A and B are shown apart, each in its own frame.
Chain A
């Protein structure tokens, strides 16, 4: 694997894939950057030409941008907290030997197979609808006023839906980590006088640190771009209450037909994602070092 010839061969063989991927990534990015500096609005096709920083100033200067940024961080943070804590808890339960373990595990994982718009619709109509949703019925049964979740707690409702979708992923990764903990280590801790809580805190948690890191990193990448759930349920409203950066780009570029400003928002979203990734790696990345 180290001779000159195999190295060269390896590079040549890998080149097509690398080049295709590079073009796939570079072309849209360059186009987005290009559009973000252009006057390009579908409503006003007569206005063209170089726009300078105008699109950026327009997007970032708008109060909706700050709100969308806060919403994005709340959405990502909220879902991470629910899935990591809930996933750890469910993984601990699923690790116990019980009858019907295989089927139970598949059931627990199944929400992950439901595509996001469908999941959002299930929640919108099946659970959260004040008239005929499950929670509506439950509240009425208890003699309470049904809550119109999407009107009163729009961002919270979306966090719940997304968390429901990602909980299985966290559970699955954390369960495999849990199962890779050597039985002897657990027994050694037991012999050393550690009770269940101490065993969890000193033995199981450090063992799972790397898996939790992976869950956080992967989920963050996907959660920064949550779109379908918002589109199907609240449409980003009321007002901008449940609009995140990704949805703001959609609202600006597609709903308001301002391609230039939408592109500027997209570039800002890419920069934000990189900033988040940077701080995330600083915070938890050390767990990945073997």
Chain B
């Protein structure tokens, strides 16, 4: 069991209000990702749930029990830190066994659980090494191992992949997702990387300046962003926004079109915008074109990698009329 409820949680550091008022319901077994730009309060929110920070006001319920003022150890949650926070003077085995040792379990039970966790995470042959002698990905797995042996109500991940190189990050992303399917334990995962959020989450919480901008499934956020912030944050490359007269045509204060929702032609088409290619980023499968579109400024367009464009080419962009997002003056989606 591991449902987590936040009710009107507020956190201030001195005069600085980091989280004004957040209410969230995370269901048992869900994989929820907190995503947002740096300084949006996502890590603070995770630490509030973990009990590493005191809540200024509001209530945190774990499985319906008020745990707002409970110390971290009593909450039954496990956390994986950004730096892994392995204990450098202990072997991998002792690192994984540490929470069990603190829980005063008998030695045989500890050994059994450590061996099981090590097998699950492919760490069996490293058990007697020190963390120093491990690679980044292995350290990451040890940190996860230390979390899973406790059989916690929920796992908390604080940007666990940000210290890994790109290829390893993709691997670990898959491993964590698989682990979730295997364990079916609630997981909360904090990241600033919207790709991680989209690929791993059952539901995503988009945070901005300590407020929940939207809470929903990845595709919900992609297809029906609640506001301009979410629309700009979710999706890669980010959505193009156009204000002013062009937006007024659609009866909105501003409109947004995703890079993948354009038709690109070399000759003018009805309703198309004229632009000049400034940079073409060729990825092989796709090409991202940065196009200077008159008064709208720089726009990013995604095309397939078949046709090549170069600097200075004239192109015409036709937005897919059914996939234009409209926003009012406050940035709310219409």
Determine, out of B73-81, B190-198, B216-224, B247-255, the stretch whose residues face the partner at the interface. B73-81
The 3 A-B residue pairs with the shortest CB-CB distance, nearest first, are A188-B85, A192-B99, A184-B85
Q: How many residues of B contact A (CB 8 A)?
A: 23
Q: Which residues of B contact A184 (CB under 8 A)?
A: 81-83, 85
Q: Which residues of B contact A202 (CB under 8 A)?
A: 87, 98
Answer yes or no: A217 CB below 8 A from chain B CBs: no
- Are A193 and B73 in touch, CB under 8 angstroms? yes
Least Cβ distance of B23 to chain A in Å?
24
- Are B81 and A198 in touch, CB under 8 angstroms? no
Least Cβ distance of B220 to chain A in Å?
32
- Are A190 and B72 in touch, CB under 8 angstroms? yes
Question: Within B77-136, which residues are at the interface with A (CB < 8 Å)?
Answer: 77-79, 81-83, 85-90, 98-99, 102-103
Decide: A193 near B102, CB < 8 A? Known: A187-B52, A206-B89, A207-B89.
Answer: yes
Query: Could you list some 16 contacts between A and B, CB below 8 A?
Result: A182-B83, A184-B83, A187-B72, A187-B85, A188-B86, A188-B146, A190-B73, A191-B78, A192-B73, A192-B150, A193-B73, A193-B99, A194-B73, A195-B102, A198-B102, A207-B89
Least Cβ distance of B103 to chain A in Å?
6
Q: Which of A182, A189, A195 has the most CB of B within 10 A?
A: A189
Decide: A192 near B102, CB < 8 A? Known: A187-B52, A206-B89, A207-B89.
Answer: yes
Query: Which A residues form the contact surface with B (CB < 8 A)?
Result: 182, 184-185, 187-195, 198, 202-203, 206-207, 209
Name the contact of A195 in the complex, choosing from B73, B83, B88 (C-beta under 8 A): B73
Bound-complex Cα distance A193 to B87 (A): 14
Q: Which residues of B contact A190 (CB under 8 A)?
A: 52, 71-73
Bound-complex Cα distance A140 to B326 (A): 89
Answer yes or no: B50 CB below 8 A from chain A CBs: yes
Bound-complex Cα distance A195 to B103 (A): 11
- Are A191 and B87 in touch, CB under 8 angstroms? no
Least Cβ distance of A25 to chain B in Å?
37
Bound-complex Cα distance A61 to B161 (A): 70
- Are B50 and A191 in touch, CB under 8 angstroms? yes
Q: Considering the complex, give the chain B residue whose CB is closest to the CB of A184.
A: B85
Bound-complex Cα distance A141 to B83 (A): 57
Least Cβ distance of B118 to chain A in Å?
17
Decide: A185 near B85, CB < 8 A? Known: A191-B50, A193-B99.
Answer: yes
Q: Which residues of B contact A182 (CB under 8 A)?
A: 83, 85
Q: Which residues of A contact B87 (CB under 8 A)?
A: 185, 188-189, 202-203, 206
Q: Considering the complex, give the chain A residue whose CB is closest to the CB of B94.
A: A202
Bound-complex Cα distance A187 to B73 (A): 10
Bound-complex Cα distance A194 to B88 (A): 16
Q: Which residues of A contact B150 (CB under 8 A)?
A: 192-193
- Are A191 and B77 in touch, CB under 8 angstroms? yes
- Are B89 and A191 in touch, CB under 8 angstroms? no
Least Cβ distance of A197 to chain B in Å?
11
Q: Considering the complex, give the chain B residue whose CB is closest to the CB of A188.
A: B85
Least Cβ distance of A158 to chain B in Å?
36
Bound-complex Cα distance A192 to B81 (A): 12
Question: Within B289-304, which residues are at the interface with A (CB < 8 Å)?
Answer: none
Q: Which of A189, A192, A194, A207 has the most CB of B within 10 A?
A: A192
Name the contact of B79 in the complex, choosing from A191, A194, A207, A209 (C-beta under 8 A): A191
- Are A192 and B146 in touch, CB under 8 angstroms? yes
Bound-complex Cα distance A194 to B94 (A): 14
Least Cβ distance of A290 to chain B in Å?
9
Least Cβ distance of A183 to chain B in Å?
9
Q: Which residues of B contact A194 (CB under 8 A)?
A: 73, 98, 102
Least Cβ distance of A43 to chain B in Å?
59
Bound-complex Cα distance A207 to B90 (A): 11
- Are A191 and B83 in touch, CB under 8 angstroms? no
Q: Which residues of B contact A187 (CB under 8 A)?
A: 52, 72, 79, 81, 85
Least Cβ distance of B10 to chain A in Å?
22
Bound-complex Cα distance A193 to B83 (A): 19
Q: Which residues of A contact B99 (CB under 8 A)?
A: 192-193
Q: Which of A184, A194, A203, A206 has the most CB of B within 10 A?
A: A184
Decide: A192 near B98, CB < 8 A? Known: A184-B81, A184-B83.
Answer: yes
Can you add 11 more A-B contacts, CB < 8 Å, to A182-B83, A191-B50, A198-B102?
A188-B79, A188-B146, A189-B87, A189-B98, A191-B52, A191-B72, A191-B78, A192-B99, A195-B102, A202-B87, A207-B88
Q: Which residues of B contact A188 (CB under 8 A)?
A: 79, 81, 85-87, 146
Least Cβ distance of B50 to chain A in Å?
6
Q: Which of B50, B86, B87 has the most CB of A within 10 A?
A: B87
Bound-complex Cα distance A136 to B82 (A): 58
Bound-complex Cα distance A187 to B83 (A): 12
Q: Which residues of A contact B81 (CB under 8 A)?
A: 184, 187-188
Bound-complex Cα distance A188 to B51 (A): 11
Bound-complex Cα distance A188 to B87 (A): 9
Q: Which residues of A contact B82 (CB under 8 A)?
A: 184
Bound-complex Cα distance A203 to B102 (A): 12
Q: Considering the complex, give the chain B residue whose CB is closest to the CB of A187.
A: B52
